[in-house]
Chain A
Amino acid sequence: MMLVVFLLAVLPFSVAEAAEGVQVTVPELSSSDYPVIAGVNSRVAVWLAAQLHLWFAAFVLAVPIFVFIIESIGVWTRDQRYDEMAFEFIKVSITAYSLTAILGGLLAFSLFIFYPQLMTYLTGVFSESMFYYALLFFAESVTLYVYYYGWHWLQGGDKKWIHLTLGLLLNAVGTLLMLLANAWLTFMMSPNGVDTAGTFTGDTWGAIHNFLWNPINLHRVVANVAFGGSVVGAYAAFKFLSASGEDERAHYDWMGYNANFIAITALLPLPFAGYYLTAEIYEYSQQMGITLMGGVFAWLFIIQAVLIGTLFIAANYYLWCGMGRSEGAHRYYPYIKYIAFVIVASFLVWFTPHTLVLTNEELKALGGPYHKYLGSLGIMPAKNTAVNLMILFTAVSFLIYRRSNKLPTVSWVQTGNALQIALFVAGIANILILGIYYGYFTNTVYKVAASIPQVLTTLVVIVISTVIDSFLYKGAEEVAPLRWGRVPDRSQYALFLLAVAFTWLMGLMGYIRSGIRQHWHVTDVFRDNSVDAFTPTLGYAANVVSIGVVIFMAMVVFVFWISQVSSKKSYPEGYWKTA
């Protein structure tokens, strides 16, 4: 704890003092300057090591965030189930924590072996922050271990407050670690604190606080929580499917529901954090923005759209299956098909490509590069409208899920319901007008501008409807106690699908983020002259990412298995001598 306080107090001053008289220049490299190990492709080795490290790092940074929140809910409500669930989540992350460190070591070695000059330059620019990063790891490990191993010791009264403080500190250190690492990678995308030739003269804060640092920081924090939630959801599904008794099934069903709730709550604002990041990339460099969205990488966004659509469908499907836990859910079953229709229709709009890859014959048959009707669904206003509708209808799924086991007791039930419907109708009408009218019948400036009130409309509808619902169902009666565990096995596969889709998405989008530097190690200042200084084909990139996903999932299964093994005991008869 003292180490963190010390670092936070000293770091800004030491950065300023150490800046005097430093000069780090960019070397001119040729392909012979890059070491080669026979049979190893340098780019793929670093790519996979970085990606695997990032997946695990995202997981172990995200888990303490929601563990802290769940533990706080437990303290607030004094419901011990929350405390037990929080402990079980952090238990999964402990094995993942060592794997993160091992993969971090592998990444660092790979970088220094295959790209020594680049790393000499980067360590020259970021020497202080890299040193403090290493020190912060001690603080992270100490707080994590005390937080985890002291969980049952630090219970009740002041001890619980000490434990919560440790949780908060663990998150502060973890976030600080991520912010430092983010600075290094965003410096490579949007270098700052150096002159046009890349010469660094000591402006460390400038290099850290580069143009894309905060947009990436925001996007990663939100995405990590969604990803972490989905992985622990997969853990709960794994335990649910392998559970032997009803109690165990009920426990892991409840855990899976909470994990899914965390993942989806973080997923809802994620497209907007993504839009903000993309807008900032365009703001930094239009060329980079066009490479990202309109150039070679654009087709990966179609895959992204398919995967995100899959996430929404799977999350909604899981909620609909979960309604089976309630005796009162049958009242809402008829509405599910309409929600499903809107979500699937929005999904189809969302992944309709604008420009198709066509043969000459196909082009002739189509009468041009764009389809007569579907072509207009390929541009952003259609996609913005679709994603907002998808989010709104996911919120409706949540709404009916919450309502399914409740009977309102307030006198203004009908008024409240009428207001809810009016709110959704007005909101959807506004989203459609903004998307269709401004998207297709006005100046291009308004196409982009209209996306902001669209997002705000979605958020306003979700917030107001949640508020109305909470008053409407205040003091509501339960239809019957919820039957946790009464869900079909196939709902658990939706949780697995969520985890795999999130992992794949992160891998593909991470590749794009890194790939838009193209033939530059550090955009516009440090040229990549290795044999791999080209953008690979999309199929090749997707294959590398997919191999990464398979390796990651295998490691995750190992983590789940090992956490199960630790609670098993064998009593071999006659093995030990008796006293």
Chain B
Amino acid sequence: MFAVGLVVFSLVFLALDYFVMGAQGLSLVFEH
């Protein structure tokens, strides 16, 4: 259940980062 929770909450926070900083902010992570 810990692993499931970790995946779910990570997605929640990723969505939050995307919502606030936009796609450009997130794509920086993958550029590097």
The CA-CA distance from A414 to B2 in the complex, in Å, is 10
* Option from A423, A443, A446 in Cβ contact (under 8 Å) with B9: A423
For A434, the chain B residues whose CB sits under 8 A away are 17
Mark interface residues in B12-31 (1 if CB within 8 Å of A CB, else 0).
Answer: 11101100110001001100
**Nearest CB on B from A119, distance (A):** 45
When the two chains form their complex, are residues B10 and A429 in contact, meaning their CB atoms are under 8 A apart?
A: yes
**Nearest CB on B from A236, distance (A):** 38
For B8, the chain A residues whose CB sits under 8 A away are 422
When the two chains form their complex, are residues A426 and B13 in contact, meaning their CB atoms are under 8 A apart?
A: yes
The CA-CA distance from A85 to B14 in the complex, in Å, is 44
For B29, the chain A residues whose CB sits under 8 A away are 433, 437
Is residue A570 within 8 Å, beta carbon to beta carbon, of the partner chain? Answer: no
- The number of chain B residues touching the other chain, given as a range, is 20 to 34
- From known contacts A453-B17, A460-B12, infer whether A426 and B28 are also in contact, taking CB-CB under 8 Å: no
* Option from B6, B20, B32 in Cβ contact (under 8 Å) with A426: B6
When the two chains form their complex, are residues A419 and B5 in contact, meaning their CB atoms are under 8 A apart?
A: yes
When the two chains form their complex, are residues B12 and A422 in contact, meaning their CB atoms are under 8 A apart?
A: no
Q: Which partner residue on chain B sits nearest A431 by CB separation? A: B13
- From known contacts A415-B1, A430-B13, infer whether A453 and B20 are also in contact, taking CB-CB under 8 Å: yes
**Nearest CB on A from B9, distance (A):** 4
- From known contacts A426-B9, A430-B17, infer whether A419 and B1 are also in contact, taking CB-CB under 8 Å: yes
For B14, the chain A residues whose CB sits under 8 A away are 430
Among A428-464, those with CB < 8 Å from B are 429-430, 433-434, 437-438, 441-443, 446, 449-450, 452-453, 456-457, 460
* Option from B3, B4, B13, B32 in Cβ contact (under 8 Å) with A457: B13
Mark interface residues in A394-430 (1 if CB within 8 Å of B CB, else 0).
Answer: 0000000000000000000011001101110111011
- From known contacts A422-B2, A456-B16, infer whether A427 and B9 are also in contact, taking CB-CB under 8 Å: yes
For B4, the chain A residues whose CB sits under 8 A away are 422
**Nearest CB on A from B10, distance (A):** 5
**Nearest CB on A from B18, distance (A):** 9
**Nearest CB on A from B25, distance (A):** 6
For A450, the chain B residues whose CB sits under 8 A away are 21, 25
Residues of B within 8 A of A (CB): 1-6, 8-10, 12-14, 16-17, 20-21, 25, 28-29, 32
